[in-house]
Amino acid sequence: MNDVQIWTYALVILTFGLYIGIAIWSRAGSTKEFYIAGGGVSPLANAMATAADWMSAASFISMAGIIAFAGYDGSVYLMGWTGGYVLLALLLAPYLRKFGKFTVPDFIGDRYYSNSARMVAVFCALLVSFTYVAGQMRGVGVVFSRFLEVDINTGVIIGMVIVLFYAVLGGMKGITYTQVAQYCVLIFAFMVPAIFISIQMTGNPIPQLGMGGTVNDGSGMYLLDKLNGLSTELGFSEYTSGSKSLIDVFAITLALMVGTAGLPHVIVRFFTVKRVKDARKSAGLALLLIAILYTTAPAVAVFARTNMIETVSNEEYSAMPEWFKNWEGTGLLAFDDKNKDGKIQYVADKAKNELTVDRDIMVLANPEIANLPAWVIALVAAGGLAAALSTAAGLLLVISSSVSHDLVKKIFVPNISEKGELWAARGAATVAVVIAGYFGINPPGFVAAVVALAFGLAAASFFPAIVLGIFYKKMNKEGAVAGMVVGILLMLFYMLKFKFGIFDGGKAAVEGLKASWWFGISPEGFGTIAMLVNFTVSLVVNKFTNAPPEQVQEIVENIRIPSGAGDASSH
């Protein structure tokens, strides 16, 4: 067993022990504790938990990987996810907190005074959450397969067992305090190697400044100019120039933004604090905590891409360092010597390119490529697991509460006891973990691509219903249900057609279908169109049907009044 493995086992056992210990200490004894941690979490703890919930395997593992390969085009993820969080914090969180419900389907069911609206919302919540959690489980599998040298499938199963333990035992209370610990682990794990490599490459300890600084080899050359040069030499486009059309960049960014604002597992975090004021405060603090990672990710992408090209391009395969062989063993890095010269040809031309790199390995392999100490490499592995597990736990809670609270209690068994509801929530979480594990073992694409689709589905379904529910008191149930159904079905159709090629010759045909994208918009950006259709259908149907009852309109008026908003417990 090598040093990296010993350090990884030590750090993973230590952090997992911490998470399990917290879960046992803070286990939920009531449905209120299970769903919203008893509603008494402090703004700072909630901000840290929100940041951990928010920064999933997609943020930690995949985002810098996408930016490393897509360059300028990868910035849509940065803009969309950060902007979306601002939208959620300012536009939705305080109002939803004042409404005082446990779940998003609960808000939609009560605001639109209808169980059919609740059922549609539950379906959408489950679809979004399962799509999202599949990406997290895949992230867990990637980390385990490389650093603990177990099979990806075994890695996913270990992750399932850990998440199940603290999500089922502790509910939101256990998850909240576990996520505080996970935030500390993941941010430390992301920043330490970034600072090390920034000093190594540019002499600047601040990665954000290092990315725009000069390389410290005495040439006086800017790092980004150097990377542009390396990229164009290999036939790739300049790293700092984009190839996506402006409309697609706009559509993806907006879909990610409004999808974020409709994400049920992030919205529910704002119900765990005592007052509306605390919801606003924790939203602002969480943004600062998230910004630490989000402003560092582009720098990590630049460092990783430059280091990788310099290490592998046109070098002898036999002289490759140990990390290369280790990642080859996972199947996430592959070398095919097409011209049989024993050298690695890493070029843009697909016919000549001999190296295949999975985007999800860039952040994890980065410290190894840069020859950092074994404990730093292991720390990144522990951080990747913390990021994936914290979000997976939040999503499982959404799935279990949607089933136990919104289906079982509100629709099928209204007089169920509190204990019975708690058991239903735990049972639903267990089933959800098994399904999520299946998706992790049979993943539909790399982490961030799967997650981007979840945002599209949330944008197409929840966002219009929530916004109209808060800001338009005359919005009725017929309009909201029609909008949600049309929006989600349209998004699903487009996703299946252009992402999975279901109607046109399967996955092999997906590349060829790009020419027939509607309005030139990719499946990741189509949530914007589906959302606009949802708004339109909602408002048109609303115009030709009856206005909502007076008492519903009064509730909507009330949640928008800030005076006396210090206490939301009157609902």
pLDDT tens, position by position, 23-77? 788 776 677 777 666 667 888 999 998 888 878 777 888 888 889 998 899 889 8
Enumerate residue ranges in the chain where pLDDT < 50: 563, 565-571
What's the DSSP call for residue 343? B
Q: Give residue 193's pLDDT.
A: 94
Question: Do the Cβ atoms of 387 and 474 come closer than 8 Å?
Answer: no
What are residue 409's phi and psi, to 5 degrees?
Answer: -75, -45
Q: Give residue 19's pLDDT.
A: 82
Q: Which two tokens stand for residue 350?
A: 């697909």
Question: Do the Cβ atoms of 359 and 70 come closer than 8 Å?
Answer: no
Of 82, 85, 307, the C-alpha closest to 194 is 307
Of 288, 287, 291, the C-alpha closest to 87 is 287
Domain boundaries 3-461, corresponding CATH code: 1.20.1730.10
Task: Give the other-Cβ count within 10 Å of 117's Cβ.
Answer: 23
Q: Give residue 232's pLDDT.
A: 92
Q: Give residue 446's pLDDT.
A: 54
Q: Give residue 507's pLDDT.
A: 65
Of 330, 340, 367, 338, the C-alpha closest to 355 is 338
pTM of the model: 0.84
Burial class of residue 566 in the structure, from the number of CB atoms within 10 Å of its CB (0-12 exposed, 13-18 middle, 19+ buried): exposed
Q: Give residue 469's pLDDT.
A: 93
Q: Which two tokens stand for residue 301?
A: 């992408």
Q: Give residue 58's pLDDT.
A: 76
Question: Do the Cβ atoms of 447 and 138 come closer than 8 Å?
Answer: yes
